[in-house]
């Protein structure tokens, strides 16, 4: 999703911005641009709706005034307005005095735009962010101080923002944040502002994290305000360990590499957590109170992991669970003694963060399950389970799903044994089953790599896919369908197999691909016969005798996790057959920072 970088360095800002923007590419974007100070006190604004390579060519071809040492840059993932150069960031005010990049959504943009237009401001884009430029311009007409102007302008905004504002002639740089991540590093190499520390990890590892309402002038020294009052910068946080750069190691794309990493990752997580499960230590160390109900808050793939975790809890101890999509939380009733488990690999998903604002009884606590221990979600939660899956560069989640399931299941088992709902003996048996997962995932990888490409070739011309499962297999069928649709851009839906006869059978025509994920439930066979009878091309992921026979162990409360491997490989292979970019599928963002 949208990404911000800004810097004040000793030498040239443009190469730093280009390199930092490249580091943000994995988040997904549809246009990119920079604005850089020049030696004659103007701003050079260069934008493109193509890739960063194209931006680099445009920067190299720049024949205006020599580019200077301060600049801002942005990767845009369109929310307001079409994907075109006029809508690409940075945006400018009427005079061109300031340029600005923005992440988030200005919710009162229409009202502000109408007022500003009436008072003579001229807009050159359809983007909500541009209103902020004109608000700052209006404030600068009253007081020529950029820091004050940004401070006053943000008080007129509703919604979410991470902003970096650059002034021509002075080269002053001001950042502001509210409900959208923004970090600032200030060190010997320069000053860096970014929405994602991975972008500037080459120059900075320690960052001050902007809080809601912060406005900061990033000059030779930092001037920091919160809600208008001058304060000291918050203590910096070291991000070095969590943001090690990722590189391809013999794989053609990151998705392929990240699928391959899953068995080793599973082994690492189970080795780390295994000894702390049956003695309850994993749960006890979180310092959370006992709970009688669980509410899972998540989106997309993280919700599928949440479904697995909820089912495990329900099956083992009949603890009531609610699954709440982050964007739908307003309609939930949360009882006291509920644990809220917020799951998000990025820890920055706006829907999840906003869901945490929903009022709940005071005793309700929030546990975060995330791959980003320094994320906004981690800071907002009462306790954090950080699963350290390493950087996931493929935009579609793969290894983080496996990590979420394993860590979430380990935590559930530990909580149950700690509260006496599960015996130590039963827990130890379940831990033994978890320990088999790395081998099961490896077997699934080997079989899938052999069998799936031909199936994908065969199915790649299909216009739509149905994924079926029952019970514990259903979250995996859902994940298979999501992976296929986001990577191949083909329709793919999942259904509880028993529901087919209540309507969705109408979708089956001769040749319709139906992927059925087994979990040992004998009733699935009857459902498969129903679709076969109507001419479906059936692919079964299951035990011996299946089309993709990856399941080996006995059924577990968390279901057939290894079944996700062929589903990921199928989605990737179909996408490649169709010529898609599997690491950067269209319209999908790695960190969805808008609601």
Residues identified as active-site: 2, 590
Query: Exactly one of 151, 311, 324, 349 binds ligand F6R (CB under 6 A); which one?
Result: 349
* Minimum CB–partner distance for residue 377 and ligand F6R (Å): 8
Q: Does 345 bind ligand F6R (CB under 6 A)?
A: yes
Rank residues 5 and 482 by Cβ distance to ligand F6R and give the closer one: 482
Residue 37 contacts residue 8 (beta carbons within 8 Å): no
Q: Does 557 bind ligand F6R (CB under 6 A)?
A: no
Rank residues 215 and 482 by Cβ distance to ligand F6R and give the closer one: 482
Q: Does 242 bind ligand F6R (CB under 6 A)?
A: no
**CA-closest candidate to residue 100, choices 130, 120, 144:** 130
* Minimum CB–partner distance for residue 344 and ligand F6R (Å): 3
- Of 15-23, 65-73, 340-348, 533-541: span binding ligand F6R (CB under 6 A): 340-348
Which run of H or of E encompasses 574?
Answer: helix 564-577
Query: Exactly one of 116, 198, 204, 396 binds ligand F6R (CB under 6 A); which one?
Result: 396
- Of 5-13, 197-205, 267-275, 346-354: span binding ligand F6R (CB under 6 A): 346-354
Q: Does 592 bind ligand F6R (CB under 6 A)?
A: yes
What DSSP state is assigned to residue 421? S
Q: Does 352 bind ligand F6R (CB under 6 A)?
A: yes
The span from the CA of 422 to the CA of 413, in Å, is 8
Vertex 478: Cα angle to 474 and 479 (nearest 5): 120
Q: Does 392 bind ligand F6R (CB under 6 A)?
A: no
The span from the CA of 542 to the CA of 557, in Å, is 16
Pair type for strands 464-469 and 513-517 = parallel
Rank residues 109 and 396 by Cβ distance to ligand F6R and give the closer one: 396
Residue 70 contacts residue 11 (beta carbons within 8 Å): no
Q: In whole angstroms, how far apart are CA 463 and each of 46, 59, 548, 572, 581?
A: 39, 41, 22, 16, 18
- Of 115-123, 131-139, 338-346, 379-387: span binding ligand F6R (CB under 6 A): 338-346
Q: Does 344 bind ligand F6R (CB under 6 A)?
A: yes
* Minimum CB–partner distance for residue 438 and ligand F6R (Å): 22
* Minimum CB–partner distance for residue 176 and ligand F6R (Å): 24
* Minimum CB–partner distance for residue 584 and ligand F6R (Å): 12
Q: Could you say which residues in the range 37-76 bind ligand F6R, by CB under 6 A?
A: none
> In sequence order, which residues have a C-beta less than 8 Å from that of residue 300 and are 6 or more positions away?
397, 482
Give the phi and the psi of residue 444 in degrees, each rounded to 5: -60, -40
The span from the CA of 164 to the CA of 171, in Å, is 12
Query: Exactly one of 259, 269, 350, 397 binds ligand F6R (CB under 6 A); which one?
Result: 397
- For the packed helices 564-577 and 474-488, what is the interaxial angle rounded to 10 degrees? 20
* Minimum CB–partner distance for residue 136 and ligand F6R (Å): 31
Q: Does 375 bind ligand F6R (CB under 6 A)?
A: no
* Minimum CB–partner distance for residue 404 and ligand F6R (Å): 8
The span from the CA of 107 to the CA of 110, in Å, is 8
Query: Exactly one of 31, 99, 346, 556 binds ligand F6R (CB under 6 A); which one?
Result: 346
Q: Could you say which residues in the range 247-306 bind ligand F6R, by CB under 6 A?
A: 299-302
Q: In whole angstroms, how far apart are CA 377 and each of 2, 273, 349, 374, 383?
A: 18, 22, 8, 8, 10
Rank residues 299 and 531 by Cβ distance to ligand F6R and give the closer one: 299
Q: In whole angstroms, how far apart are CA 233 and each of 2, 201, 380?
A: 25, 20, 19
Pair type for strands 383-386 and 365-370 = parallel
Binding residues for ligand F6R, rule: CB under 6 A, are: 299-302, 344-346, 349, 352, 396-397, 482, 486, 591-592
């Amino acid at each position: 999703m949208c990404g911000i970088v800004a810097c004040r360095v000793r030498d040239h800002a443009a190469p730093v911005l280009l390199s930092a923007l490249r580091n943000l590419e994995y988040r997904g974007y549809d246009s990119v641009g920079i604005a850089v100070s020049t030696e004659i006190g103007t701003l050079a604004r260069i934008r493109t709706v193509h890739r960063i390579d194209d931006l680099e060519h445009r920067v190299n071809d720049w024949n205006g005034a020599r580019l200077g040492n301060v600049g801002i840059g942005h990767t845009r993932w369109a929310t307001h307005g079409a994907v075109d150069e006029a809508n690409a960031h940075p945006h400018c005010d009427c005079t061109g005095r300031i340029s600005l990049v923005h992440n988030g959504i200005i919710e009162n943009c229409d009202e502000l735009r109408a007022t500003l237009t009436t008072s003579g401001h001229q807009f050159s884009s359809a983007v909500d962010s541009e209103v902020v430029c004109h608000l700052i311009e209006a404030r600068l007409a009253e007081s020529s101080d950029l820091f004050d102007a940004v401070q006053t302008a943000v008080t007129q905004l509703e919604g979410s923002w991470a902003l970096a504002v650059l002034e021509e002639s002075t080269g002053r740089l001001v950042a502001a944040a509210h409900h959208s991540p923004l970090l600032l590093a200030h060190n010997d190499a320069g000053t860096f502002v970014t929405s994602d520390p991975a972008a500037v990890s080459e120059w900075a590892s320690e960052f001050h994290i902007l809080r809601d309402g912060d406005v900061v002038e990033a000059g030779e020294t930092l001037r920091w305000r919160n809600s208008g009052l001058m304060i000291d910068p918050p203590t910096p946080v070291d991000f070095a360990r969590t943001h090690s750069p990722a590189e391809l190691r013999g794989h053609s794309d990151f998705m392929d590499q990240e699928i391959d990493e899953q068995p080793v990752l599973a082994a690492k997580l189970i080795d780390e957590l295994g000894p702390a499960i049956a003695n309850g230590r994993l749960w006890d160390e979180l310092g959370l109170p006992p709970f009688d109900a669980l509410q899972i808050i998540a989106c997309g793939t993280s919700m599928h992991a949440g479904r697995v975790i909820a089912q495990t809890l329900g099956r083992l101890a009949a603890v009531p669970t609610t699954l709440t999509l982050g964007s739908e939380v307003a309609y939930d009733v949360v009882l006291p003694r509920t644990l809220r488990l917020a799951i998000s690999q990025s820890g920055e998903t706006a829907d999840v963060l906003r869901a945490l604002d929903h009022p709940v009884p005071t005793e309700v606590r929030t546990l975060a399950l995330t791959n980003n221990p320094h994320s906004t979600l981690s800071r907002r939660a009462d306790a954090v389970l950080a699963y350290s899956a390493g950087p996931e560069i493929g935009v579609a989640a793969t290894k983080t799903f496996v990590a979420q399931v394993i860590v979430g299941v380990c935590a559930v088992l530990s909580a149950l044994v700690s509260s006496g709902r599960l015996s130590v003996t039963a827990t130890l048996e379940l831990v033994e089953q978890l320990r088999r997962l790395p081998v099961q995932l490896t077997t699934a990888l080997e079989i899938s790599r052999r069998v799936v490409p031909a199936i994908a070739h065969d199915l790649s011309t299909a216009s739509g896919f149905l994924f079926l499962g029952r019970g514990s297999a259903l979250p995996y069928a859902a994940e298979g369908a999501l992976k296929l649709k986001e990577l191949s851009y083909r329709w793919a839906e999942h259904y509880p197999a028993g529901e087919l006869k209540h309507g969705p059978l109408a979708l089956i025509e001769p040749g319709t691909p139906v992927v059925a994920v087994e979990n040992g439930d004998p009733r699935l066979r009857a459902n498969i016969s129903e679709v076969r009878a109507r001419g479906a091309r059936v692919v079964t992921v299951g035990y011996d005798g299946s089309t993709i026979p990856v399941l080996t162990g006995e059924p577990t409360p968390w279901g057939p996790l290894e079944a996700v491997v062929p589903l990921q490989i199928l989605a990737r292979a179909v996408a490649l057959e169709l010529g898609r970019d599997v690491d950067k599928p269209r319209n999908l963002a790695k960190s969805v920072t808008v609601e």
